[in-house]
Structure 1
Amino acid sequence: MSGGDAIEILRPSDRRLSGTIPAGGQAEADAAVAAARQALPAWAALGPRRRAALMQRWADLVALHVETIAREESLVSSRFIAETRAVDAPVAAEWIRFYAEYADKVDGAVTPTDPSALSLVVHEPYGVVVAIVPWNVPLVLAVWKIAPAIAAGNCVVVKPSELTPYSITRVAALAAEAGIPPGVINVVQGYGHTVGRTLVRHPDTAYVTFTGSTATGIQIMSDAAQSGIKPVSLELGGKSPQLVFRDHGDLDRVADNVVWGITRNAGQLCYAGTRLVVDRRVEAALLDRIVERLGRLVPGTTWSTRGTLAPVISVAQLNKTQSLVDKTLAEGAQAAIGGKGFEGETGGLYFQPTILLGLRPDMTGFREEIFGPVLGVQTFDDEEEGIALAQHPVYGLAGAVYTRDINKAIRAARSLQAGTIWVNTWGRKAADMTSPFGGYKQSGFGREAGRAGYERFLRSKSIWIDLTEP
């Protein structure tokens, strides 16, 4: 597609130029929406089994091109090739298959009436869906939006992050190769504050789904309202707790989960387990294990099989992480380890795995999402205090509870105000497709994944039929 000034795409692993993309604007946004509107009537009217068959063919092509997609995903992101090859690319194919199967599986309803009437409830697509995708796990998060939306009969305009445009563009091209008609999936490159905002405010877009920061989510809600009321679903930031009770079970396993929760993708995950809330009696033993594991991490390029600490996506992100850590230290926290950004051997930017002790609720590191490998530590003496400390006044995306007492685990899981709670583990697994994902509070609303991820792209219509004789 044509556009204005070119956007340079840098490789985070070495800060070298990988290529350029055109910076789309009003004209490109209008063209994409027009293409989606033109394709919508035929796609929505296509039998659901036909839609499903085309999507299954699309999934087969994605699976066939896993290696290429994985390399393109890793090249310009913070995702290691080992993970994009084993998880992101093949799982993207599976998500397409998963939602293809939903195309004819969600029924309408006949509601109870007296014999003189028939009350029907049917489901219909919204129309043109805008999907705005972040840079941290771009491929999977894009497919989470595109696949259910088109399975439900909508057409989609996707705005990838300008930092990570490649894999999404590749997968969209494979959809066309699979026979999905032109205009059903459209990709517009460009900046969020220009083309993204234009798409959200466009009078012909009917639904907006966004994953990213809470601040941007607030702006998207405002923009959507100003252009005429349209539904918005938001998956936003988090400050997720890892709540470790004294009866935690295998402490090495707990340490593994805590480290994975804070260092995967260099902590650049919305559900990163950034707050360790631990029983005071096991704090020292657990921290010893965590520090030992963090010390073994090796900074590496995303295409390396040796690296275990991923690069930070950009200079701006590194500077933001450093600023938030510095503020927290100035407010009285202590860095047990880490606390600084650094440049790797190949020129990539990294942030030292960091543990902040003495974290208080009034500190920056408690209140704000850092989006880096930074773990804040709080201690408690009893169950009630632990659950209270694990709550967050602003965010509620995810959390974890570590205990061998099932009653305590259920009490804590039900008490924590977050959209997902893991027990004795951390993070979504590749096979976790049926469970919905989304936040409470300012972590957003609406759900990705599972049946809920499909149903959000359908609206219901009531049809009332009078059966009395005229």
Structure 2
Amino acid sequence: MAANQSNANKSLKAYDEHIPEIKFTKLFINGKFVDSVKGRTFETIDPRNGKVIARVAEGDKEDVDLAVKAARQAFDHGPWPRMPGYQRGRIMSKFADLIEENINELAALDTVDAGKLFSMGKALDIPQAATMLRYYAGAADKIHGEVLKMSRELHGYTLREPVGVVGHIIPWNFPTTMFFVKVAPALAAGCTMVVKPAEQTPLSALFYAHLAKKAGVPDGVINVVAGFGPTAGAAISSHMDVDMVSFTGSTEVGRMVMQAAATSNLKQVSLELGGKSPLIVFDDANLDTATDLALTGILFNKGEICVAGSRVYVQEGIYEEFEKKLVAKAKAWSVGDPFDPNVHQGPQAGKKQFEKILSYIEHGKREGATLLTGGERLGTEGYYIKPTIFANVKEDNMIMKDEIFGPVMSLMKFKTVEEAIKRANYTRYGLAAGILTKNIDLVNTVSRSIQAGVIWVNCYFAFDNDCPYGGYKMSGFGRDLGVDALYKYLHVKSVVTPIYNSPWL
């Protein structure tokens, strides 16, 4: 397999000098790169042109069994959960150093595998992964319980202990970021884990497994099984020896993960699911700032982000001028090769998603929405879609109700604050929302009224390692980022003893 991969990589480099050397294509189980039990492989595709980048080992139930066995052994008998927190933190910090040493290669992997902007990967995704590791490395030796003031003659205290073996199932839109959103807090907590990267984007996850071992993470603590959701993902979700599953992806698949967990060993589940986030622009907002934020809110990462501001509500006093500025900026938005530093938007991550977005655009046209710009593919090669804005969209239109996960915005007009709140909440999702206004009374009223897990005021995509992130309603439950994410990988154990001379003695 290695020789074949080497030859394939040479042929890829012949047509594109940006293609990095593909070093790791096997499963990573118990500290070693291994073929799948059945010897199967699958293709991972370059969305810039539809060509095969590499063939990757395809994990199935038998491979998940081996990975879980390794993780269970590492948790029950290995050093990681028993190691002082500061020692785990030192290894995690070394892991972060190695990421920064390989930043160009890692950014290139996510670009060719997911169509992500290379410049953005170097400036944002990869450095933030290292920063996230260091954030949780600093928390690893600060895991404390509490002393309890009991109501009777008892002394009580709590301990926080790692939940055990965790299954992480991560999406394809942010291969690096989501790997560490899951892995970093679980490592700090002392858990061991099996990671299933999305089948569309397995390459950087396998590289991170290599770096983890190089940093000193003990064998069996991190296992990476590339494969498909109905096989490898389902095996993780239903495995009797997995203590918790953390999943990010669609609401439909999240429901299946939850059902599998419930019908197996009733394992803990954390779900970060879909979104259809509203951005509300009031009359007093600065038009240039508002149009910039609205455009970035839907076009960042090609719209392949669960908190994309796909529903934009603009108050009627500024609507006409807002629409004019927004459309002009969308038409000037540069779509093309994600290795080009002047490009704002690369290709959609894969053919299936590309076709799904185009089908939603056709639904929008058929349902009577007004297409202001875009609405079609760009070029004849690769999975590029022009920035698309619809106006006059009705609340029951498919493009308004469903998560499209692409560069497609629905733009609407509103009159009153009450109307804006009602329409913003008219969705089965509740992941994020944005509010643009200079009026603090409006900020307080609207932010407390919108049913969403994070509200951004006069900004958008304002993520931070210290800020918890997750959803309401069908956007899931559980929180990523912040100390909340660390705590979800920890059990709380209460210890109670009688006080001297108490009636219990």
Q: Which range, TM-score by smaller chain?
A: over 0.9
Matches within 5 A, 1:148-187: 148-187=185-224
Q: CA deviation at 1:280?
A: 1.2
Distance of 2:262 and 2:340 partners within structure 1: 45
Contact 2:46 2:115 in 1 (8 A): no
Structure 1 position 392, deviation (Å) = 3.0
Secondary structure of residue in 1 paired with 2:114: coil
Selected match of 2:489 from 457, 465, 470: 457
SS at match of 1:242: strand
CA RMSD of aligned residues (A): 1.3
| Structure 1 match to 2:229 | 192
What is the percent sequence identity of the aligned residues? 37
TM-score (norm 1): 0.97
Cα shift readout 1:228-262 (whole Å, capped 9, x = no counterpart):
211111111111111000011x2101111111111
Of residues 227-236 and 306-315 in structure 1, the stretch that sits farther from structure 2 once superposed is: 306-315
* In 1, Cα distance between equivalents of 2:262 and 2:434: 35
Secondary structure of 1:21's counterpart equals strand
Cα distance in 2 for residues equivalent to 1:170 and 1:149: 19
In the alignment, what sits opposite 1:20?
A: 55
| Aligned twin of 2:261 | 224
Q: How does 1:240-259 map to 2 (within 5 A)?
A: 240-248=277-285, 250-259=286-295
Following superposition, the deviation at residue 115 of structure 1 comes to 7.1
Give the deviation of 1:17 after TM superposition.
1.2
C-alpha separation in 1, matches of 2:139 and 2:345: 37
| Cα distance change, pair 113–384 in 1 and its aligned pair in 2 (3 A) | same
Deviation at 1:451, TM superposition (A): 0.8
| Separation in 2, partners of 1:255, 1:376 | 14
Aligned equivalents of 1:102, 1:200: Cα separation in 2: 28
What is the CA–CA distance in structure 2 between the aligned matches of 1:410 and 1:104, rounded to whole Å?
37
**Is the Cα–Cα contact under 8 Å of residues 300 and 306 in structure 1 kept in the other structure?**
no
Query: SS at 1:351's partner residue?
Result: coil
Q: Is the CA contact (8 Å cut-off) linking 1:128 and 1:204 kept in structure 2?
A: yes
Does the 8 Å contact 2:338/2:345 carry over to 1?
A: no
For each residue in 1:13-46, what CA deviation from the matched residue of structure 2 results, as whole angstroms up to 9, or x when unmatched? 1211111101111221011101101111331111
**What pairs up with 1:377-456 in 2 under 5 angstroms?**
377-429=411-463, 432-456=464-488
Query: Which amino acid in the other structure matches residue 445 of structure 1?
Result: F
| Alpha-carbon distance, 1:107 to partner | 1.7
Deviation string for 1:158-200 (max 9, x for gaps)? 0001111111111121111011100111100111110111011
Counterpart of 2:72 in structure 1 is 37
Where does the alignment leave 5 or more consecutive residues of structure 1 unmatched? none
Matches of 1:354 and 1:61 in 2, distance apart? 39
1:113 is displaced (CA, Å) by 2.1
Q: CA deviation at 1:106?
A: 3.1
1:123 shift after superposition = 0.7
Instruction: Give the Cα separation in 2 of the matches to 1:409 and 1:354.
Output: 29
Native 8 Å contact 1:262 1:373 kept in 2 = yes
Output the TM-score relative to the length of structure 2.
0.90
Contact residue 276 and residue 427 of structure 2 kept, 8 A: no
Q: Deviations over 1:344-368 (max 9, x none)?
A: 5xx2111221111111111101110
What SS does structure 1 have at the residue aligned with 2:390?
strand
Once the two structures are TM-superposed, the CA of residue 298 in structure 1 deviates from its matched residue by 2.1
Q: Deviation per CA, 1:267-299, whole angstroms, max 9, x where unpaired?
A: 111000001111012111111111111111222
Cα distance in 1 for partners of 2:218, 2:41 equals 28
TM-superposed deviation, 1:67: 1.4
Please, which moves more after superposition, 306-315 or 403-412? 306-315
Output the CA distance in 2 between the equivalents of 1:151 and 1:27. 28
| Partners of 1:370 and 1:435 in 2: CA distance | 26
- 2:115 maps to a residue whose letter is S
Look up the SS of the partner of 1:111 in the other structure.
Answer: strand
The aligned amino acid for 1:305 is P
Question: Could you tell me whether the CA contact under 8 Å between 1:301 and 1:348 is conserved in 2?
Answer: no
Secondary structure of 1:186 counterpart? strand
Q: Provide the rounded CA distance (Å) in 2 between the counterparts of 1:104 and 1:381.
A: 52
The separation in 2 between residues aligned to 1:166 and 1:29, in whole angstroms, is: 18
**Aligned partner of residue 492 in structure 2, secondary structure:** strand
Q: Verify: 1:316 aligned to 2:352, yes or no.
A: yes
Q: How does 1:77-88 map to 2 (within 5 A)?
A: 77-88=114-125
**How many pairs were matched up?**
465
**Pick aligned residue for 1:67 from 88, 98, 104:** 104
Q: Shift of the alpha carbon at 1:213?
A: 0.6
